[in-house]
Structures are given as C-alpha cells and as structure tokens.
Structure 1
Amino acid sequence: MADYQEFLDGVDREAYHEGEWRWEEDGYTVTRTYHYSPPGCHTSCGILLYTKDGKVERVEGDPLDPCTNGKLCIKCLTLDESVNHPDRLKYPMKRAGERGENKWQRISWDEAYDEIEARVKEIWETDGGNAIICVHGTGRNINWQVPFFGQAALKTPNISTFGFTGFSCYMPRICGSIAPFGDFPIVDASETHEDRYSNSEWVPPEVLVVWGNEPLASNADGYIGHWLVQCVQMGTKIISIDPRLTWWGARAEYWLQIRPGTDAALGCAWLNVIIGEGLYDADYVASWCSGFEELAESVKDTTPEWAAEICDLDADEIRASARLYAGAKPGAIQWGLAFDQQLSAMALCLAGCDLMALCGNVDVPGGNILVHNAFEINAGYASGENLTPAEWRAKKLNNNFALSVEGGDFVAHASSDGLLQAIEDGFPYPIKMMWIQSSNTLSCPSQDAPRVMKAMQNIPFIVNADPYVTPTSVALADIILPVAMSAERNSARTWWSPCRAMVKAADFYEAKSDEQIILELGKRLNPEVFGQWETDIDWLNWYLHDGTGSFSATTEATDQGGAKNSGKTLFTASWDELVRDPSMVGHCYDEFNATYNKAEKGMFRPDGSVGYGTPSGRLELAPMLYQYWGLSTTPFHTEPPESPISTPELMGEYPLILTCGGRSFEFFHSEHRQLPTMRELHPQPRLLVNPATAEKYGIQDGQWVWIENDHGRFKQMAKVSPVVNEKTVHAEHGWWFPETEPSAPYLFGTFESNPNNCTKAFVTGQGGVGSPIKGMICKIYPVREGDTMPYQQIAEAGNFPWYEKVESPRQDEIDRFHAALDKGMEFDVMANQLVDPASGERIDLKTGAKAEA
C-alpha cells in the first residue's frame, strides 16, 4: 500500500457493491458495517458480514472502507468464532445456590427486570441512588451508554471501572492533554481525511516516537496501528521507547530500552536538551505558547546524565534521540498505556504535550493533530450526570473520600479506591448494589484482585451483563444478563473520526444489545427520560443529534477551560441515513478534525477568535488547570514505590523489575480466551525472560514459573527471549481459563496466572492519578509439583500468607468515623463532619477538631 492511489485503482468497486449497505451473494446476505465490540476492541474497522439464516458465517475486510482499507486483525477475522461460541450466555439467569457455586436458574427478561427494578427502588428509598455502583468495562462500545444508564436510570453518581486504582487507563492522557491543549492530540496518519494518504495537505511524520505503546497489537484508543506502518513505508523514522523490543524498536533509529516506571525522567531530560540547546521552535513558542520560562526553569537540572542513572539508559542516546525528534518537521508522538500506569502519570502526559508544543508539532500535517469526537457528539463518562438527583450526585465517591487529595475533582468517574473503601468500611456510606456491564472485574481491572473479591462479597445485590459467564459472574453475581455482540446490535461510534454505524445482522438466542437492555430497564426506572425513545434506533438518533447538548465531555476539564469549539460541524443525517445513504454507507467524516492549524482560523474558541481552547488561548506549557487541580504545573519524575532506587534493601529478595500489560494480537484484555484459533496461536500466558536471566535462575523455555513479590504471586509459562533485558521480566495480564472448573474456589483459574495478585490498591500518584503497576519488583523460580496454588491460598486465608494489606491513606479518618457512629453520632457526607444529634456539636472528620456547621 505504499502507493495508495495504486491500491485504490486496483479495487473492483462493482464486485464490492460500492454504495450498497446490504446485498445477496452466493446464498449469503452481506452487510457492510463496522465492528466495535463486543467482543472487545478499542477501534472500529470496516467489515463485510456474511450471514445465512441469521447466523454469521464469515467476516471479510471492506476494501472500500477508507478507515482501514480492508485490513483486519485476527480479532475481526475470528468474529464468527466469537458470536457462535457455545459457551456464550444465552438467557437471563438467576443464582440458584450460593455465590461461587455456579448454580443458575433460567428466568425471563421480565423476571430479571422485575427483580432489578424492585431492588433499585428499595435502595432509593432507604439509602439513595449513591449506594449503587455502576461498573463498565474498557474500550467497549458502552462508554456513553452505561454511564448514561447509571446516572439517568440507576440515579447514581458512582460510575467506574471498579478495582482500577488511580484511573490508570487513558483518563490521565485525556485530562492531561485537555488542560494544556484544550483538545486531544493524536498522530496525524491522514486518518481524518476520507481521501487518506492522497490528501494534498497531508505529509507523513519525519520522525515518529512510539512511546510505551505497540500500535500493531493494541490498536488502542480509536487508533489503527497499520496507519503508522504506512507512514514508515513512506519514509518516517522511528524512535521506540519501550522495555520490550517490538516491531517498532527493531526498525528504530533509537530504541531506548527504558526501566519501567521512569518515563517521566526521560521526558524531562528530552525537554532539558531541547530547551538547553535551543532546538525548540522559538517563533512558534513565542506566538502560540505560554509558560515557557516556568518550564525551562523546572527542567534546567534534569540532564541526560541525571535521567540515564534513573532510566538505565545511555546519556548520549538520550541526547541524540531528543535532537532527532526536535529536528523533525514534522515530528509526532504516539503514546500508550504506559503513560497512565506509573506514579508520574499526569506529569508524564504533560511532558509529552510540552514536547509536541515546543517543537511546533501541534495541529500541523504529520504532527499531533487536535481532534474531538466526530461532530462534537461527546461519548463521555459524565453523560447523563444532570439527571441524577443533586443530593445523590453530590455524594459521588471521588478521591476526596479515598485519598488526601487537594484541589479540584477533575475526573467524571468515581474513584475506584473511594468505592473500595466504601464497600469495605461503609465509609462514608454503605454500598447496597453493583451493576456490572461487560467487565470481567476480577480477571482484568482489579488491582489486588483477591481483596476486591472479598470486598464485593459484602454487596447484597450484584447484576452482571456480559456475553459470557466469567469468573466475576460465578463468584459474585446474583443475576446475569446475556449481552449481544457487535454483529447483533444497532449502534454508533463517534470516538474521533469518522462517525460510524454498526448494523444488526444476526441474533443469538435471547441476547440483547447494550442499547436494548439499557432502554428497556431505563423505561421502568425513569420513564420520563427513557420513555421518549421507542427503539434503540430512536435512542441512537437522539445521541447523534439532540443528545449532544446534555452530555459532558469525558472529564470535567472542558467545563473548566477546555475547548468550546466554534468551528464544529453539525451532523444532520439520521442513523438510517448514515447506514443506507450511498454517499456514506456507514461512515461520515467531520471537517473540523480534518482541518489543520485550527487555532489561527478561530475554530477552537467560542467567539471565533484566534487561539486554542485553553483559558489563555495558548498552548500552556505550565497549564493553569493543573494549578487549579492541585497538580504540579511542570513535569517531574516520581520513582516507583518499590525499585532499585526506592527500596534497594528489597532487591536482594526481589531482584527483577516486573512489568506487565503489553498487548497481544490474539486477546483484548481478558477476552477471547474461549476461541480455538486464539488459543491455538497463544495457548498459555507467557512470561518474557532474557536468556541470561533464565540461566541464572534455572528457568527453561516453556517451563511454568512463579512470579512473586511482597504482595502475592502468580504463574506463567517462560518465553526465553532477548526482547527484554536481564533486569526485567514481562508478564501478560487478564488471563483466565474458560475450559477449566468454573466454581469456587478455582473460578476458571482467574487467580492462577494474574499479575493482579501482585498489584496494590491505594497507591497512586499526584492528584490520586496513576498507579505503578508497570514498574513493580519480583523474583522468579520454577513451579514444582506439590506447590500450593494461588486459588488455594486465597480460599484458605483470603490472600497470600505474606500479604500485607495496604490501608487507605485516610485510615485515621475511617477509624474516627466508626468510633463516632458507635457512640450514636451521625455523618454529614456533604460537610465531611460528624454530628452529635443530641447537642448538635460537629466534628471535622479530617482533623478531629470541633467544626462549625
């Protein structure tokens, strides 16, 4: 595809029914649509679904789709295995025994809805909607639907990806870039143009920094990895920053094999070089940036030599790679999840933004362009928040209930640690119900998964909606609801560009789409809101048009100074027209996202004036919003809590750096483990071990190995390979084994190979954001016959024998809270004060001192 026009000219458009959304072919009905989970995926590729008698028989890429040009990864190519799998949940089920026994009774949808409705309304009467937690999974096509349901139907402010300390997935980059930029930056690989690589304005990046990311395997956050391969074919040079050698590192001018968890130090060193050597775009900085002097002062001592000691890198390579990026016109930075999963998360994101801005690479062809959701249709986690009663909304379990965090509450989500604390301790109020939609909470997001399971057992009523019965379903759910997959739902995607439609092409038993479940139950719980839509398509039309005005953005950052774009393009088509109109056939590009240099064209600011969508109108190298949020306004490095620098005394016992979470081609987080093709290609969890390390510790390739730290242990199969260095091992996340025993205590083996046994709750970075789960320490040793398995240790003792529980940093307040309640005092959640009902005397919970009302 290096010659894009040659590729386009070679497509037989008549054979692929250009302009048609559905046709008959060789006994099949063919539907032109987009896939966007479930099964899980962060992106949305153009596909041709071949169905017969309402069943998906095969999937092909659509070469007429300008998003992906017919390219599909194995997750789409095996979609027929997913949707037709015999283990899928077929009917609503109610628990027939104890939690964990995996005994279920089939019930009707009405019976399920009846019980859920009754329990929710009872909780409203006794405790308020804030006593309900609404949980959703990651990257699925539910990132506005489920929050809207939680806040408009369940009437709870407590929406979260529960168990995930520090909002450590994507949110730090969202907030961390909206503050300095006003909109979100993505690498310009021509994806905002319908004519793609042929667009006359577009140029490929001269240099692409692939930082903490493997785009080909992850295709993360609405981004397709092969777009960047096309850029490499056109001459783009690579800098790879990654503990693992990836496809990108093997082709890189510089591969910086960084010590996990130290990326912010490298970012500060690059800034030191670029500012100190005058490599930044001085004219651009003078015209479009603010805060330069403050930034320059903050990084004057963060030299490459300083960073080299921290990052285990060569100072000369740090300096040379910084020069290469700074000299590129244009250059671009493709960042990944590693930015979020370390204590310096917000500071690291700011360093990345500062680098983009200093070098004049913001919103220019081939740089990091600024985008919003297509047609400003905001698929936000705060959607529907205005429909929750104010007195319940005010009790959202944000970081103020879990950590000593000063400053603004800038995250739409409830704090995972705040929720865990409420479940464990009843502080500041007890939790009575949890709704889990398409999240395998125990196997994937939960840090300190055994602790999370024990806490969730305290919740009286749990509903789990999912395509499969998972370890979370068996261990905790009282009702499970079957969720339809992508090929079985009508939906829409507006995450970046273009706006895309998903079209229902098949059915599976009684499974319902996320939209159908939410709409049907929503009509029972809040008919005033949900009664305005008869069908799922009615609701989608509202979302594409009228709903945009009632949505908040993904974070509260936009209300506090993010872009109110004057140049937005309105979406005027209906969902049916988006699907069927021959000029669209499922997709429509937003001209705002396709426009370069929007600041000078007055497209970012509400009044149409020149500037960016920030409080100052400039790219803020030291953002005002960071100051308002109680964050440092310039980048800095925070050492992982356990490391060769933080805890040298522990390195004798745990001599290796443990990183985890790298993506594979076969799996999306904890999904796809049932599929025969995936397990043939990737049958077991793999621990990457350097050959010298393996020899030192007596590890053979293909041998099961224990990975242990001072918190827990898990086992994976050693893959001896030089792609990691001698100091680092890399483990895979999200593993469970659907082919094994489902009932407790084994629970499909969810604890056997899960790094979450070794991660910790209540350990976060500045502002309660970020978590050090990519930079832990460990020891490794062979699994021996007769070893006690993790599930046995957890079942017998609740956790591992050497486990030390990490308490909330506000444990003194929790103790004060319970002691006061024992004396008959009451708690004023809004004021954070204890009240003596007899005398009216008030005690400030934080200080223990007398307080005024």
Structure 2
Amino acid sequence: MEFNDAAVEMRDDVGKPWRYEEDGCTVTRTCVWSAPGCHPVGCGLKVYVKDGEVVKVEGDENHPVTKGRLCVRCLAMKDFLYHPDRIIYPMKRDRADRGKDKWERCSWDEAIAIIKKNYDEVKENYGVESMVAFMGTGRQGNIGATGAHRVLGSPNGCYPLSGFSCYGPRVSITMDVVGSSYPEIDYAGGLPGGYDDPAYQIPEIIIQWGKEPIYSSPDGLFGHSIIDLMKRGAKLININPRITWTGSRAILNVQLRPGTDAALAMAMLNVIISENLYDQDFVERWCYGFEQLAERVAEMPPEKAAEICCVPAEQIYRAARLYANAKPASIAWGVSIDQSPNGAQAGQAILALMSITGNMDVPGGQVLVDMTAGDGGMQEDIDSVGWPEMKQELKDAIIGREEFPFYTGGLKMSQADRQLDALETGKPYAIHFCWLGETNLIAPTCSAQPKRWYDALRKVDFNFATDTWMTPTIQGCCDVVLPLASSLEMETIVPTHYGGSPNYVGALNKCVKCGEAVPEWELYRILGLALNPEAWENREKDFKEFYDIAMMRAYDFDYDEVQKKVVIQRDVSYRKYETGKLRPDGAKGFNTSTGRIQLYSPMFEAVGEDPLPYYFEAPTTPVSTPDLAKDYPLTMMTGAREIGYFHSEGRQIEKLRDLCPDPLVELNPVDADEHGIKEGDWVRIENPWGVCFLRAKITPIIKEGYIQAQHGWWFPEEDAEAPHLYGVWKSNINTLIPHSRMGKLGFGAPFRTTLVKISKASEEDLVEADRYGLEGADGKPLDHTDNFFRIDDPSLDPAAC
C-alpha cells in the first residue's frame, strides 16, 4: 500500500521546555481541546505570542503521538481568537427582545446578578427541578450533568440530541457489558516507544465501523494513527454506506444499508461461532452468556443479514473471517452506531465481536483503562459531582426516569426527547429556567425537529447561555450570555477519551487572554458559588486550588507537573483482567456484576430490555414505512464530519469557509440524472417533517437510492434577527428528522435512515427558503404530533429492503 506522505519523524529540537523564547516571541507548548472543537485527543500545539497577541500556531513536534501534525481547525486558532464576532464580554437584553439584536455589554457582576435573581424566583416558586442545563460537547468536555447537579441543584442536565445519539449510548452500553468506558483501538498512545515499543503489536486488521477518524479525531482516537498503522502493515476493513477517504485504501468495503449494523454484527458473530474461529479459552474464562449469544446469532445467518443489509453474503463471511483470524485485530466504532434506534443492540454485538475473538485489552486490540490508577476515576469524579448529595426525591424527578431508567440512571441526565416533551406540554412538570451551555441546538447540530425546540425555549421564563460565539440559538432564545475561553486561554488538562483510554494526559497551557472570557470550569465555580453555594466544598479556594481538587484528584501527578511536561503518557499494561487492574476492588476479572464480559446483560434484563443483541428495522425506511417510501424514495444520512468544521462551529472563519463554502448534499450520478440535478445546483430536500436547501455534490462514493446531507449549517454573515436568525432555517437538515424515534433504552434516532425526496430548487424556493424552515412545504404551520414508533410491529419484514 502506497501513501504520498512520508513517515513523520521527530525534529532535532525535541525536548523543548513548555515555554521558551524564539525570534522575539514567547512560544508556549500546549495541547488543545475546544475550540477548535474536538473530542478529547489533545493534539500538540506551539503558540507564538508577541506583545500579548498570538501571531502564529504550529504543530508541536515534541508531542509523542501527534508529532507536529495538526488539522486546519487548529491552524486557524488565531482567526478564531480574534474574530470580531466572538463573544468576549458578558451581554444582556430584555426578555421581550428575544430574537432582536439588542444586546448590551454588561459587567460580570451584573450578569450574575440577573441570573441569580431569576434563579431564586424560579427556585422559590417552582423548585429546582423546573430548571434544565442543556450542554453540548463543552469547552473542557463537560456536559449537562455537572452543570445541572452542582451549579443549579437540578436533576435535569440534558444533552439535547434526540436519543443522546452520540457517545452516550456507546459508553452506557459498554459500562454494563464490559465495566469500562467503551474501548477504543490501541494505537500505542500511552507507550513511550509508540508503535515500536516492545510491549506493542501492530494490528493485522482494523475495522472502521461507521467512523472516519482522520476528519475529527473523535473520542481519544488520533485519526492519523490509522494511517500510521496502515503504513506499518495493518489492513483496513471499512463498514460504511459511503466510501470514505480511508475506505478507498481498504481491502474490503462493506456498504451496508444505513441502520442495519446490528444485523451485520450478529451475522459476523454467527460465522465466527459456527466456524469455531473464536478464542475458546478467553470465552470460557472471561465471558458470561456465550451459549445464549450463540443461540441468538444462529438466527442471523449471513444470507439473511445480506438481504437486510443489502450487501453480498460473501462480504459478511470474508469480513468475519479476516477479523477473527487476525491476531491482533481492532474495531474503531463511531457515532453512526449511536445514530440509529437499533444502535444499542449493534453496539452490544460489536462488543461481543471484540470479546469472543480475544481482542479485549491486548496489544493492538481494544485497550481498557486501569481502574486502580488515576484514569479510571476521572470521568466518574467529574460527571457525578453533586449527584450523590442530591435528595432522592430530586433524583426521582429527573425527566424520563420511569420510561428510560437505564438512560437516566446511567448518564444521570434527563432523556432528551422527553425533555422537549416537557418543555412543550408542561408534563410531568413545567420548565421555567434554562442554561444553554455550549450548544447551538437549533442549528442542525443535535436536536431533531429544531423548530419545536426553538418555539418551546422562547416560552421559558428565563434562559441564559455560555459560549464563545453568538449563535442562532442564543440570538433567538436567551436573555444573558457569558463568554467562555478557548483552548489557548485556559489552564486545564485534556485526558484522551475523557480518561477512558490509557493513552496520555495533555496540558492546556494558557497563552493569551481575550476580553473577559473565562474557562468553563472557572465559570462553573462562579455560577455555583452564586446560585448553589452549599454544593461547593472549598468554595473559599481560588480557582487553581479548586481545580486541583475537582480535576487532578484522579491522577497521581499534580497540575504543575503536567503543565511543565505538556504531555504525560499513562502507564499501559494489558490483560488487566488477569491482574485485578480492571476493578477498583483489585479483584481479577471485569468491573461488572458477574466479573466477566456480559454477552448476556443482566442490567438490560432488569430494565425490561432484551439481554441479548437483536435487530429491528429503524423507523422511516422503505421497510418500516413502505407507503411513505412511495412518495419519498431516497434514504437520507446526515452527521458525517467535514474537515473544516466542528458541527456548527467555524463558519465565520474565512480560511475554514473557503474549504467548504456551501452546504452540500452528496448523491449518486444515477439519482442526479433521474432528478435533473447537476453539480452545484441548489436542491430542495423534503419529507413530511420539513424542507431544506443544499447544493448538489454528485459522487459515486454513495450508492444509488441514498444521499448524505451535511449538518451544522447556518450563515453568520446573514441577518441576525428573528425569524431569519442568520439563515438557520434554510439549510437546516435536522428539520427533516422526526422527534422521539428511539429504541427501548431511550437511545438512538433516525439521523441515518430518514426518507426524503429531492428536486432541483426553483428561484422561488430559494427566496422562500427561510419560510420553509418555519412552516411546512405547503406554507402551513408544521404539525408534529406523531411522536412514537413501535419497534415490535409484527408487520415489518426487515428482509424486504
């Protein structure tokens, strides 16, 4: 296999201190989190500052993993920092002016006083449960649980993505099946010798399953490690409805029908078990429920899965045999699995593949975190802060608890779809106070049916936001906004995979300060002391002392050490189930109720779910809704990352916008010809839930009958005021995603399986584009009362694709 880029080598100046002088600049070696918006990988940067201002950003060749390689988002950090649209001071406006560009700069004291006044009134009149902290990825990886529990004192922290269809399902499922955060591939990130370390072994096979890591470096997987490993002999299998860039270098591409991953994984298990390709010793000693799993997957032979997935049965046999016979092998599974109502079961089956082949916690396979060392405790310490002290009656009041106990109990967050229902209906109780933290939820980033969210939030008594940019969500819905710092303006750490992989911990070393923006954790402390001081121990401490208590207690080194070293690689060991390092109590085995990998899940059984993986047809497909498919014959996927953007972030940055200036939809040349669409045409995409407009990209990488529509689009250069809101409705692909189509555990949504039709947009269409976002295609207000979908409908024939 040939690659154009040469192997990356460390330069002669390896070993630079964390801060030094060069060419009249102060150079700070640091790592990055968000902005520019990545899940925690912690790529290494060198930031050149002169006269208190950043003049240049380069990759840090001293970083043991990234070795100077940076994405365009990091390279554009200077443009991010100093962009005139960035929020760097607190702002306020009257509630009556929501949607109007009537923001006034105010002091921190005044902004906090406004928030506290409204907080106190709502708490007194309605109780803290009537408050919600909505959170996105966050600037330091925090999500709604911490803000809700510890700052507001409310049980209702919420990630407003329908079915929490990103990361949460994988983590929740794996915590029950394996007893750890979901296992990423081992790319030697924690080993001092890297790929050449004697403890490491190059995987023979890597399966990329619904993931293209070089575009986003997601969840602690440095994307270019895939390329590094392929240069060293690893072979790639790509499971994806599209042919991705790395997929074009794969030895096998399995272009399955979107949403059928569970059927494919079960069929691969069928082959491995029936052909006796599994690791019998590992299964006998360390797996629970193997016989039951074998009986279940016997119901899904490759020939049946081939009909469901619309792929040749021979591909399923080949993929299963290649993976099972490789020693070692690894699977990088992505958000595409989460973004299906059947995603929990698909994830369960993928974990079974990793387990029965003996690839769990071995060099070059899947790597698990040492639960007796620092990493294992970090995320639990952060996300559960405040929850143990919360009164049981408040815990019981969390939205969605009775219907989705696994979701709300595991994540300690309200169920996203039911949270919208509560906003709209006031049941089980009304919501009066919202914190919108680092989430541009009405732009097509997360929420299904964003117009419903917009209408519901505008009716709430008080909303405030914390972010780095003015967004359509803040402009349309909020009364106060507080400015957050970016990665170059804070002191913190970035642990890969939120501490869920034993790779490394990086330091975010403060380089500059812009205006009055503060780091996310410091903002939590400021708000917590003002609103809920009894929940804040050591509240007399300054931020650094608080930080050491709240964040660094999970590690055996202090912040000063990681700051000076910039990157500390974690001690990596393998087969920790044999040494007691996967359980906090030090016992051998896995950190589960049985002490083994639970191929049969007692927890799923306890909450009324099937304890074994199974396949069901997603909603709004040609199989589940054949009548709908007659009028809407194309299956739409959305959510794939673009290299220049992190969801909705970055469209103000000229260098990034030049890479992708317009919202695009990919379609096959055959479908383009059938609908009279040419490259670059504006097209109209619609279904019963909504309409939006994107530009056509005609490409054979996508199969006939499918389209891939970009998400996250809004137009910061356009009119800010409502109803336009920076053109957020024109290309808002999530207006086509129906609300509340999740699986039995409350996870998943049809972001990859929604039926649509497509046509060339007329001039009249484009003039009226904003109106179509607010109203139906016929100009009438949208009616979305059809909220529920039964996954056990016996009339569905999943083989009739």
TM-score, with length taken from structure 2: 0.93
- 1:543 maps to which residue? 550
Map of 2:116 onto structure 1: 117
The CA distance in 1 between the partners of 2:718 and 2:281, in whole Å, is: 63
1:534 to 518, 534, 541: 541
Q: Which residue of 2 aligns with 1:573?
A: 557
Which residue number corresponds to residue 141 of structure 2? 142
Instruction: Please state if 1:258 is matched with 2:264.
Output: no
- Structure-1 residue corresponding to 2:799: none
1:465 is aligned to 466
- State the alpha-carbon separation in 2 of the partners of residues 455 and 576 from structure 1: 45
> How do residues 376-391 of structure 1 correspond to structure 2 at under 5 angstroms?
376-378=377-379, 380-391=382-393
Q: Distance in 2 between matches of 1:136 and 1:404?
A: 20
Corresponding residue of 1:822: none
Preserved CA contact (<8 Å) 1:165 1:771: yes
Q: 1:316 to 1:346 in 2, by over 3 A?
A: same
Residue of structure 2 aligned with 1:624, choices 579, 602, 605: 602
For 2:170, the equivalent position in structure 1 comes to: 173
Provide the C-alpha distance between the structure 2 equivalents of 1:59 and 1:220, rounded to a whole number of angstroms: 22
Going from structure 1 to structure 2, the CA distance change for 1:47 and 1:406 (only over 3 Å counts) comes to closer
Residue aligned with 2:745, SS: helix
Distance across 1 between alignment mates of 2:125 and 2:118:
11
Residues 769-808 of structure 1: pairs in structure 2 closer than 5 A: 769-787=747-765, 789-795=768-774, 801=780, 803-807=782-786
Please report how far the alpha carbon of residue 361 of structure 1 lies from its aligned counterpart in structure 2 after TM superposition. 0.6
Cα deviation code 1:698-757 (max 9, x no counterpart): 000001011111211111110001010111100011111101111111111111112111
The aligned residue for residue 431 of structure 2 is 431
| Aligned-partner SS, 1:153 | helix
Are the aligned partners of 2:735 and 2:773 in contact in 1 as well (CA < 8 Å)?
Answer: no
Counterpart amino acid of residue 11 in structure 1: R
For residues 173 and 708 of structure 1, do their structure 2 counterparts lie closer, same or farther at Cα, with a shift above 3 Å needed? same
Separation (CA, whole Å) in 2 of partners of 1:2 and 1:544: 43
Structure 1 segments (4+ residues) deviating >6 Å: 6-9, 404-408, 797-800
Alpha-carbon distance in structure 2 between the residues aligned to 1:409 and 1:795: 35
Equivalent residue, structure 2, for 1:588: 568
Q: Give distance in 2, aligned partners of 1:504 and 1:35.
A: 11
Deviates more, 1:512-521 or 1:41-50: 512-521
**Partner of 1:187: helix, strand, or coil?**
coil
Deviations 1:431-462 (A, max 9, x none): 11101111111111111001111111110100
Q: After superposition, give the CA deviation of every residue in 1:74-128 in whole Å (9 maximum; x if it has no partner).
A: 1111111111111111321111452111211221111001111111122221111
Q: Is the 8 A contact 1:712 1:802 kept in 2?
A: no
Q: Is the alpha carbon distance of 1:194 and 1:625 closer, same or farther for their aligned partners in structure 2, counting shifts above 3 Å?
A: farther
Separation in structure 2 between the aligned mates of residue 407 and residue 640 of structure 1, nearest angstrom: 19
| Residue matched to 2:38 | 41
- Does structure 1 conserve the Cα–Cα contact (< 8 Å) formed by 2:729 and 2:774? no
Residue ranges of structure 1 left out of the alignment (5+ in a row): 549-570, 812-853
Alignment of 1:245-394 (within 5 A): 245-371=243-369, 374=375, 376-378=377-379, 380-394=382-396
**Is 1:398–1:409's contact at 8 Å kept on the other side of the alignment?**
no
1:509, distance to aligned residue in structure 2 (A)? 1.6
Q: Deviations over 1:582-630 (max 9, x none)?
A: xxx1222332xx1101011121234433211111111221122222232
Aligned to 2:798: none
Q: Look up the match of 1:133.
A: 132
> Does the CA-based 8 Å contact 2:692-2:772 persist in structure 1?
no
Cα distance in 2 for residues equivalent to 1:408 and 1:796: 33
State the Cα distance separating 1:404 from its structure 2 match: 7.4
Identify the residue that residue 398 of structure 1 maps to in structure 2.
400
Whole-angstrom CA distance in 2 between matches of 1:69 and 1:780: 44
Distance apart, 1:386 and its partner CA: 2.6
Kindly report which structure 2 residues correspond to 1:670-709, keeping only aligned pairs within 5 A, or say none.
Answer: 670-709=648-687
Do the aligned partners of 2:690 and 2:777 also contact (CA within 8 Å) in 1? no
The answer (yes or no) to whether the contact 1:29–1:50 under 8 Å persists in 2 is yes
CA distance in 1, matches of 2:513, 2:27: 15
Q: Which moved more, 1:281-290 or 1:474-483?
A: 281-290
Q: Closer, same or farther in 2 for the Cα pair 1:428/1:799, shift >3 Å? A: farther
Contact in 2 for aligned 1:364/1:596 (Cα 8 Å): yes
Cα distance in 1 for partners of 2:507, 2:451 equals: 39
Q: Within 2, Cα distance between the matches of 1:467 and 1:745?
A: 22
> Using the alignment, how far apart are the partners of 2:666 and 2:61 within structure 1?
36
Residue 178 of structure 1 and its aligned partner are, at CA, apart by: 1.6
Aligned to 2:442: 442
Structure 1 contact 454–798 (Cα < 8 Å) conserved: no
Structure 2 Cα separation of the partners of residues 465 and 759 of structure 1: 27
Letter in 2 for 1:41: C
- Higher mean Cα deviation, 267-276 or 381-390? 381-390
SS of 2:587's equivalent? coil
Three-state SS of the structure 2 residue aligned to 1:410 is: helix
For 1:637-656, list aligned pairs within 5 A. 637-656=615-634
Instruction: Tell me which moved more, 509-518 or 311-320.
Output: 509-518
Aligned 1:122-271 pairs, distance under 5 A:
122-138=121-137, 140-143=139-142, 147-162=145-160, 164-183=161-180, 184-271=182-269
CA-to-aligned-CA distance 1:498-547 (integer Å, 9 cap, x gap) = 1222121111122222123222222222334155353322222112344x
Letter in 2 for 1:188: D
Question: Residue 748 of structure 1: which of 716, 726, 735 is its match?
Answer: 726
Q: Secondary structure at the match of 2:721?
A: coil
Indicate how the Cα distance of structure 1 residues 9 and 473 shifts in structure 2: closer, same or farther if over 3 A, else same: closer
TM-score by length of 1: 0.87
Shift of 1:799: 10
Do 1:760 and 1:806's aligned partners in 2 also have CA atoms closer than 8 Å? no
Q: Which runs of 5+ in 2 are unaligned?
A: 791-801
Summarize the Cα distance change of 1:358–1:806 in structure 2 as closer, same or farther, 3 Å threshold. farther
Q: Which amino acid aligns with 1:422?
A: A
Equivalent-residue separation in structure 2 for 1:810 and 1:424 (angstroms)? 19
Tell me by how many angstroms 1:572 deviates.
3.3
SS in 1 for 2:208: strand
Partner of 2:702: 724
CA contact (8 A) 1:347 1:632 kept: no
The one-letter code of the counterpart of 2:378 is: I
- Counterpart-to-counterpart distance in 2, 1:157 and 1:426: 16
Q: Distance in 2 between matches of 1:190 and 1:801?
A: 56
Moved more, 730-739 or 365-374: 365-374
In structure 1, C-alpha distance between the alignment counterparts of 2:147 and 2:456, rounded to whole Å: 24
Structure 1 residues 166-207: Cα deviation after superposition (integer angstroms, max 9, x where no partner): 111111110111211111311011112132112101011111
Which of 517, 521, 545 is residue 515 of structure 1 equivalent to?
521
Alignment partner, residue 816 of structure 1: none
The answer as to whether partners of 1:794 and 1:800 remain within 8 angstroms in 2 is no
- Code of the residue aligned with 1:437 in structure 2: it is G
Point out the more displaced range, 382-391 or 287-296. Answer: 382-391
1:420 counterpart residue number: 420
Query: In structure 1, what is the Cα distance between the partners aligned to 2:106 and 2:153?
Result: 26
Q: Matched residues in 2 for 1:809 and 1:723: separation?
A: 33
Letter in 2 for 1:427: K
CA distance in 1, matches of 2:401, 2:769: 31
Alignment RMSD = 2.3
CA distance in structure 2 between the aligned counterparts of 1:357 and 1:767, rounded to whole angstroms: 23
What count of residue pairs does the alignment treat as equivalent? 773
